[in-house]
Amino acid sequence: MYTLEELEAIVKRCNRCPLSKTRTNVVFGEGKEESIIMFVGEGPGYHEDKIGRPFVGRAGELFDKMLKAIDLTREDVYIANIVKCRPPNNRNPLENESKTCIEFLRWQVKIVNPDIIICLGAVAARNIIDKDFRITKNRGIWYERGKFNIMATYHPAALLRDINKKKDAWEDFKSIKDMYNRVNVELP
């Protein structure tokens, strides 16, 4: 099996889809290598592409505050995306781009081996939970897939665009904290 460093080196050389031609940096992922919890977004935005790190713009600042509100930090979690290269004009990744890149996410999941996976936004949820997932209807619901407890909530960028979603997101994050505490207690 690969290490995260070996996998990242492979991803940085990837040119399997057109996104590789327009990227500034691959945004592989970051965080605690053997984390209980993994957060998965859709793909890098402008700031992430420039810096090469996930969630570093305004949405990243909000994400950090959301983690802090449930007594977690970036150092406690692992953060990844469905696609590792920025789609032009911050559009959602196309289906073929997601299908091409999701193999790398699967390897990240194997290596990190989280108990909890949180999909940040509809794109992540449609690629991980169900292709017909509706974020406003199905967010906050826990799904069991093998050993994984999976839930979707709003992407922090959506909360910046619509503050009315923040209450629901806060409820989701309290549920995430409860699941995190439950899983953390059950670990040997």
Per residue of the chain (188 residues), what is the pLDDT tens digit?
A: 899 999 999 999 999 999 999 999 999 999 999 999 999 999 999 999 999 999 999 999 999 999 999 999 999 999 999 999 999 998 999 999 999 999 999 999 999 999 999 999 999 999 999 999 999 999 999 999 999 999 999 999 999 999 999 999 999 999 999 999 999 876 65
Residue 72, CA atoms < 13 Å, CB-side half-sphere = 26
Which DSSP string corresponds to 123-179? Answer: HHHHHHT-TT--HHHHTT--EEETTEEEEEE--HHHHHH-GGGHHHHHHHHHHHHHH
Look at residue 1 in the predicted model and tell me its pLDDT: 81
| CATH assignment at residue 57 | 3.40.470.10
- DSSP, res 90: G
Q: Shortest CA distance to 44 belongs to which of 32, 35, 56, 61? A: 56
Q: Compute the distance between CA of residue 97 and CA of residue 184 in angstroms, rounded to an integer.
A: 34
Which residues, in sequence order, are CB contacts of 123 under 8 Å at separation 6+? 42, 43, 82, 92, 93, 98
Look at residue 185 in the predicted model and tell me its pLDDT: 79
Look at residue 187 in the predicted model and tell me its pLDDT: 62
Q: Compute the distance between CA of residue 115 and CA of residue 49 in angstroms, rounded to an integer.
A: 28
Q: Compute the distance between CA of residue 8 and CA of residue 121 in angstroms, rounded to an integer.
A: 24
- DSSP, res 86: P
Number of domains in the chain: 1
Q: Compute the distance between CA of residue 131 and CA of residue 63 in angstroms, rounded to an integer.
A: 25
- DSSP, res 91: P
Look at residue 188 in the predicted model and tell me its pLDDT: 57
Amino acid found at 144: E
Residue 93: give the domain boundaries.
4-186
